[in-house]
Structure 1
Amino acid sequence: MSTPRQDPLRDPRFFADPYPTYERLREGCPVQRVPTGSGGRHAYLITGHAEAREAFTDPRLSKDTARFFAGRPSNRDLHPAICRNMLASDPPAHTRHRRVATRLFTTGRVRELRPYITRVVDDLMSAWRPGTEVDLVADLAVPLPVTVVCELLGVPESDRATLAGWSHDLFDATDDSRIDAASHRIGDHLTHLVDTARATPGEGPLHALVRDCEAGGLDPDETVSLAALLLVAGHETTTHLIGNSVLALLRHPETFQRLRRDPHLIPGALDELLRYDSPVSVATFRHSTQALRVGGVDIPAGFPVLIAPGAANRDPAAYPDPHRLDLDRDAGGHLSFGHGIHRCPGAPLARTEAEIALRALVTRFPDVRPALPAHAPTWRRTRLTRGLTALPLVL
């Protein structure tokens, strides 16, 4: 195993199409030591499916970010609500957070939300006219999950577009100061909303979240932290799921035509769409608390470990001919929502939003086509998620 000389996940070619990079790294070794950023820092990158699945459940890989960075020099200034959330903690703190979060996304709760989600899609598409051009990202993929998660949390309508913009900045891979500033804007704003809900009796969604957090043993700061995580994670990846899915279908017209003929296939197609172009390219931060061995590679204690679902989902050892979109494939083992105790609790909601959006698109506008060549779309410059900046369509 040879260590790359430069960070392979910051190359402009990676942001445009990460899969050749992932394939090259995985062929060398499914677990590799790679440089990260500047200053001679390194991490271990996991690109194999079996190895990623194993790592997701290994208790020696901690998500306690504060523990890793304690005593290490840093020029970062993230808001505590952003850097000390459920995704940056281990049990028992993680268990308390997750117990509250999971109640929001039960099968029954998501089923209750279906009519509301359908109305939101109907409202967003009401201005769409055949023969005109729309941007699928700006006109559907962004506002749909933002509206739904803000409704779920009780965020006022007047705040939603602003919070979505700050969330977008939070995933900027090129500007640490922009990320830090966005974290404070989100954290401060949600602190105000949570404090107001706590001080004012009411029966709104945010009041219910505050009560659930108190009953679950979360303190006021942890309540803000959970609200921030649900807001950001609750819409960012769903936006990318919708955009990536539509682009994949446009690039596979026979598959798209199949869904047009039979929209009832859409729920079953989501696993393959999630596998084919995962909205989560690299999972959130982990570090080794003890020496361990993954995929035949020794990982010393004290190193960051990056698990790449985007790479694992294209591992030919798990999925033959992995670069082909195949709706008949059994893709249920994909890792786009993670695996183990940190698996995304909002997965049922994300799937439901994507299903309703895709069904509306193929039934209302069966002849939709890209307004630009299929290779033209531009992608967000972030290694954590994979999503389009825009997707112009002709209806």
Structure 2
Amino acid sequence: MADAPVLVKPPSVLLELRGSDPYPYFRWLRQTAPAYPEVKRDGRVVWHVSRYDDVKCLLADERLSKDPERVAGYRAGPEGLNKHLVHADPPEHTRLRRLVGAAFLPKRIAALEPLVERTATRLLDRVDPERGVDVVGEFALPLTFALICAILGVPEEMNTPATRKMLSNTVVPTSGHRSDKRLRAFLNQLVERKRGKPVGELDLLGALVNAKVELTDEELVSTAYLLLLVGHDTTVNLIGNGMHALLRHPDEMRWLRRNPALIRTGLEELLRYDSPVRDATFRVAVAPIWVRDQVINPGDVVSLLIGSANRDEIRFPHPDRLDLERTPNEHLAFGRGPHVCVGAALSRMEGAVAFRLLLERLGDVRFAVDERDLRWRPSRVMRGLESLPVVRA
């Protein structure tokens, strides 16, 4: 057995900047401690794995469980809303993913593109870039939430800014049990409204509620929560982070506007450059795993840093450079293996439409505030801006 190396703690200045700019901290991890054990106050060990090859392998490693109940006292999400495919191992995961995945087949995604186009156009008709527009609050949030509500069959009167805020607050660490109860009540009401009712063409939730395959009430409301949140939150971050990156690289933004046919290639680079998910969702070791001469023991939590892997200099030449023509571009923004994001194709389609229309309709824009005043949402898993105000340059 190899001797355990002496670990140096990350410099405090890097830790302080993690919320707004985690990439210097990630670089330190990759170069100094690619498998870094953090010991929590309760004695629990969390391993931060930062290099591309390690993250890629572990994303599909069966020795990592997705079940948070294997770690006593671990809070992986809102209380009572964790019985969904993200927090399940086979065979439960296989069963749940098969049911949900039917709504995200390629032909269904393609059929949704006109709806995305209409919704995005309507939202952009309401804004004036000369006066300023919040790309996140006035465009990305209502666009993505409207689409996931259409897919799930959420009644129009339940698609409100208050609902979006309630869901988004669940990714913030300070969300408490009271907000969890409000969210649970909302989801229970949504599920009950679907029972015994005809299932529409775009009504995934109705199909799940009335499916012949038995789902428990907890699985139903948990799945509704997962799809409502992740079904739009990841794409909100893709649009917000991507526009933020383009604003910081105006030459690349102008190039993309002149070459709209290459938006899908550029989209992959935006996903890599500032990934909407910075840390893969919960995993816990169920068997010993060796990483970089260190052993992760059963019961240890493993944090797979997707945002770091996608900036790994060993895998991506000049990783801190935004290169919209980068090929190949095998980033890990949507994960890998059995738990690869079920909505990845939807997010890509929606992102491609969104960027094409944003660049076309907004024209040359710049930050409407000092970039240092932008606020990043305090989430461990997600990486996204609270708002992104821009104005015509």
Q: Same fold (TM over 0.5)?
A: yes
SS, match of residue 139 in structure 2: helix
Instruction: Indicate the residue corresponding to 1:350 in structure 2.
Output: 347
Structure 1: which 5+ residue stretches go unaligned?
Answer: none
Cα distance in structure 1, aligned partners of 2:367 and 2:305: 29
Whether the 8 Å contact between 2:150 and 2:203 is mirrored in structure 1 is: no
Aligned residues: 386
- Aligned identity (percent) is 35
SS, match of residue 23 in structure 1: helix
Task: Identify which range, 45-54 or 358-367, moves more after superposition.
Answer: 358-367
Task: Identify which range, 347-356 or 289-298, moves more after superposition.
Answer: 289-298
SS, match of residue 234 in structure 2: helix
Whether the 8 Å contact between 1:134 and 1:392 is mirrored in structure 2 is: yes
Structure 2: which 5+ residue stretches go unaligned?
Answer: none
Instruction: Indicate the residue corresponding to 1:162 in structure 2.
Output: 162
Task: Identify which range, 284-293 or 155-164, moves more after superposition.
Answer: 155-164
Cα distance in structure 2, aligned partners of 1:92 and 1:389: 37
Instruction: Indicate the residue corresponding to 2:330 in structure 1.
Output: 333
Instruction: Indicate the residue corresponding to 2:21 in structure 1.
Output: 17
Going from structure 1 to structure 2, the CA distance change for 1:366 and 1:301 (only over 3 Å counts) comes to same
Instruction: Indicate the residue corresponding to 2:84 in structure 1.
Output: 85
Going from structure 1 to structure 2, the CA distance change for 1:362 and 1:240 (only over 3 Å counts) comes to same
Q: Counterparts of 1:273-292 in structure 2 under 5 Å? A: 273-292=270-289
Instruction: Indicate the residue corresponding to 2:172 in structure 1.
Output: 172
For residues 147-175 of structure 1, what are the alpha-carbon distances to aligned partners after superposition, in whole Å with 9 as ceiling and x for unaligned?
110111111222222221111211113x1
Instruction: Indicate the residue corresponding to 1:202 in structure 2.
Output: 198
Instruction: Indicate the residue corresponding to 1:183 in structure 2.
Output: 180
Cα distance in structure 2, aligned partners of 1:288 and 1:17: 29
Task: Give the residue type in structure 2 aligned to 1:110.
Answer: I
Task: Identify which range, 369-378 or 151-160, moves more after superposition.
Answer: 369-378
Cα distance in structure 1, aligned partners of 2:12 and 2:325: 33
Going from structure 1 to structure 2, the CA distance change for 1:157 and 1:331 (only over 3 Å counts) comes to farther
Instruction: Indicate the residue corresponding to 1:116 in structure 2.
Output: 115
Q: Counterparts of 1:49-60 in structure 2 under 5 Å? A: 49-60=52-63
Instruction: Indicate the residue corresponding to 1:240 in structure 2.
Output: 237
Instruction: Indicate the residue corresponding to 2:142 in structure 1.
Output: 143
Cα distance in structure 1, aligned partners of 2:291 and 2:335: 17
Task: Give the residue type in structure 1 aligned to 2:45.
Answer: H
Going from structure 1 to structure 2, the CA distance change for 1:290 and 1:147 (only over 3 Å counts) comes to same
Cα displacement (A) at 1:217: 3.8
Cα displacement (A) at 1:302: 0.9
Cα distance in structure 1, aligned partners of 2:332 and 2:140: 22
For residues 311-349 of structure 1, what are the alpha-carbon distances to aligned partners after superposition, in whole Å with 9 as ceiling and x for unaligned?
100011110111001122125311110000000010111
Cα distance in structure 1, aligned partners of 2:75 and 2:339: 28
Instruction: Indicate the residue corresponding to 2:33 in structure 1.
Output: 29
Task: Give the residue type in structure 1 aligned to 2:353.
Answer: I
Cα displacement (A) at 1:96: 0.8
Cα distance in structure 1, aligned partners of 2:381 and 2:51: 17
Instruction: Indicate the residue corresponding to 1:298 in structure 2.
Output: 295
Instruction: Indicate the residue corresponding to 1:388 in structure 2.
Output: 385
Going from structure 1 to structure 2, the CA distance change for 1:286 and 1:93 (only over 3 Å counts) comes to same
Q: Let me know the Cα RMSD of the aligned residues.
A: 2.3
Cα displacement (A) at 1:267: 1.0
Going from structure 1 to structure 2, the CA distance change for 1:284 and 1:73 (only over 3 Å counts) comes to closer
Task: Give the residue type in structure 2 aligned to 1:63.
Answer: K
Cα displacement (A) at 1:129: 2.4
The normalised TM-score by structure 2 is 0.92
Whether the 8 Å contact between 2:35 and 2:50 is mirrored in structure 1 is: yes
Task: Give the residue type in structure 2 aligned to 1:99.
Answer: R
1:62 to 62, 65, 78: 65
Cα distance in structure 2, aligned partners of 1:318 and 1:342: 22
Cα displacement (A) at 1:53: 0.6
Cα distance in structure 1, aligned partners of 2:114 and 2:75: 46
Whether the 8 Å contact between 1:8 and 1:34 is mirrored in structure 2 is: no
Whether the 8 Å contact between 2:129 and 2:390 is mirrored in structure 1 is: no
